[in-house]
Amino acid sequence: MKMLVFGGTGRIGSAVAWDLARAKDVEEVGVVGLSDEGLRRTADWIRSDKIRLHRHDVAGADFGTTKRLMDGYDVGVFALPDRRMSYRALEIAIDSSLDAVDVLEEYHRRPDAYEIEGLKVPDGMTLEEYGDFLHEKAEDNGVTFLDGMGFAPGLANATIGRGIDILDSAEVATARVGGIPSKMSAAHHPLKYMITWSFAHALREYMVKVRVRRDGRVVEVEPLSDRESFRFDAFGEDEALECASTPGMPSLLYSRPELVEFSEKTIRWPGHWDGIDLFKECGLLDLEPHEFDGKKILPRDFFVSVVEPKLRPLSGDSDLCVMWNSVIGEKGGEPARVDYHFWAGPDEGVGLSAMVRVTGFSAATAARMIGRGEIKKKGIVAPEDGIRGDAYNGYIEELEDRGISVQETVRTGI
């Protein structure tokens, strides 16, 4: 099969292309990027004769040019930096009948009202109407668009969905996920935090209202509420961690309406949330202009400019991806719960961080499954709907082949 990776010169996209190029069932990998330099650098790193380079700007190119590029491939992977580009690529993919996987933290059937990022909705449509329009058009064109298929959303959604399917009835699901520095690296950085994605994006998630399911209804709660302290005691680890409610994995709010409660929480090392509370209380994370020395500045922009350099990885630093998800309900007439634990580090030999490795390999695996016809559902498909049943088993096996293992524990009579 032939695979096309948009954003293929970025950290996630290049990891996707690297993994696809090593798969026996992939004959060609198109890497799409903005510059010749970035494309050459990516090709030199991957070192595969399957790679084809395409300098192309999906945001700036006309519809027909992008469509012709897509027409030469079987499945696409979108690792694009913002919603405007992601939705444009989705629209063209639907018209091109190109199946695709997207790694953006977005459920395209219900666009995020708080983070538009230049997204233009057709005149006369609400965000929800636009999402349903895209979904129905994809269904009509026989397109599978697997949405938010990285770590979280992605792998984390699939495990929650699996836990719900294992139980006879499920009432409460909680996802606890995070990208954190290793314990040794955390000691070198303020807030016990290190940038593995985007610091500005992380701060945004610390400040906006969070949608959760409570008493069977989707409601908004305060950011960083409903905190938990817990011990992670799987995979030979025994660490104290903390988590707090953040906006993430949004598809589960809509795809599993039978849940009484659902929330997604971000995992951090102890002390991180206390530090964030202090900065919030001082107004340093605000977006309201503040006058200083005769000029107006945004406190959060100033804060990021000062703190972000101190959070960048130092030589020898490494990161971790951590997950503890739980689903509670009934099985066989008894109270039951299913827990999923996950702890993954980087691949230092190849030069892939934990976050890049887990996100990229998850997306690449799902793309190949679509290409092989193992994910058949059409339209905008949430991870928990596409990676289900036999597809879930195959997905987990492929990740295990890449050194990414998930521990599942089912308990009844609790």
> How would residue 204 be classed by pLDDT, with cut points 50, 70 and 90?
confident
Q: How far is the C-alpha of 413 from the C-alpha of 411, rounded, in Å?
A: 7
User: Among residues 121, 146, 171, which one ends one of the domains?
Assistant: 146
- Looking at the structure, tell me whether residues 97 and 181 fall in a common domain: no
Quote the pTM value.
0.95
- Looking at the structure, tell me whether residues 214 and 231 fall in a common domain: yes
365 lies in a domain?
A: no
398 lies in a domain?
A: no
Q: CATH number of the domain that 287 lies in? A: 3.30.360.10
- Looking at the structure, tell me whether residues 127 and 159 fall in a common domain: no
Residue 306, pLDDT score: 96
> pLDDT digits over 148-163, tens only?
999 999 999 999 999 9
User: Among residues 114, 129, 146, which one ends one of the domains?
Assistant: 146
Q: What percent of the chain is modeled with pLDDT above 70? A: 100
Q: Which residues contact 30 (CB under 8 A, 6 or more apart)?
A: 2, 3, 4, 5, 8, 52, 53, 54, 69, 72, 73
- Looking at the structure, tell me whether residues 204 and 314 fall in a common domain: yes
322 lies in a domain?
A: yes
Residue 124, pLDDT score: 93
> How would residue 116 be classed by pLDDT, with cut points 50, 70 and 90?
confident
379 lies in a domain?
A: no
- Looking at the structure, tell me whether residues 167 and 308 fall in a common domain: yes
> pLDDT digits over 229-281, tens only?
999 999 999 999 999 999 989 999 999 999 999 999 999 999 999 999 999 99
The residue-averaged pLDDT of 117-135 equals 92
Q: How far is the C-alpha of 361 from the C-alpha of 382, rounded, in Å?
A: 17
Contact 303, 279 (CB under 8 A): yes
- Looking at the structure, tell me whether residues 80 and 207 fall in a common domain: no
Q: Is the pLDDT of residue 294 over 80?
A: yes
> pLDDT digits over 161-186, tens only?
999 999 999 999 999 999 999 999 99
Q: Is the pLDDT of residue 410 over 80?
A: yes
In angstroms, the first-to-last Cα distance of the chain is 47
Residue 113, pLDDT score: 82
Q: Which amino acid is at 69?
A: L
Q: What percent of the chain is modeled with pLDDT above 90? A: 92
Mean model confidence pLDDT for the chain: 96
374 lies in a domain?
A: no
> How would residue 414 be classed by pLDDT, with cut points 50, 70 and 90?
confident
Q: How far is the C-alpha of 170 from the C-alpha of 15, rounded, in Å?
A: 35
- Looking at the structure, tell me whether residues 119 and 25 fall in a common domain: yes
> pLDDT digits over 301-337, tens only?
999 999 999 999 999 999 999 999 999 999 999 999 9
Q: Is the pLDDT of residue 198 over 80?
A: no
- Looking at the structure, tell me whether residues 32 and 76 fall in a common domain: yes
> How would residue 112 be classed by pLDDT, with cut points 50, 70 and 90?
confident
Q: CATH number of the domain that 66 lies in? A: 3.40.50.720
User: Among residues 103, 128, 146, which one ends one of the domains?
Assistant: 146
SS3 state of residue 35: coil
The residue-averaged pLDDT of 296-300 equals 95
Contact 5, 13 (CB under 8 A): yes
The residue written with tokens 């064109």 in the block is 141
- Looking at the structure, tell me whether residues 86 and 198 fall in a common domain: no
| Tokens matching residue 260 | 């009484």
Domain extent at residue 173:
155-351+405-412
Q: Would you call 348 exposed, middle or buried from its count of C-beta atoms within 10 A (0-12, 13-18, 19+)?
A: exposed
> How would residue 214 be classed by pLDDT, with cut points 50, 70 and 90?
very high
- Looking at the structure, tell me whether residues 64 and 134 fall in a common domain: yes
Residue 120, pLDDT score: 86
The residue-averaged pLDDT of 47-68 equals 95
366 lies in a domain?
A: no
- Looking at the structure, tell me whether residues 133 and 218 fall in a common domain: no
- Looking at the structure, tell me whether residues 138 and 212 fall in a common domain: no
The residue-averaged pLDDT of 115-136 equals 90
> How would residue 43 be classed by pLDDT, with cut points 50, 70 and 90?
very high
Residue 359, pLDDT score: 97
- Angle of helix 155-166 relative to helix 390-401, nearest 10 degrees? 140
H or E stretch including 255?
Answer: helix 252-255
383 lies in a domain?
A: no
Higher pLDDT, residue 119 or 143: 143
324 lies in a domain?
A: yes
What is the domain count for the chain? Answer: 2
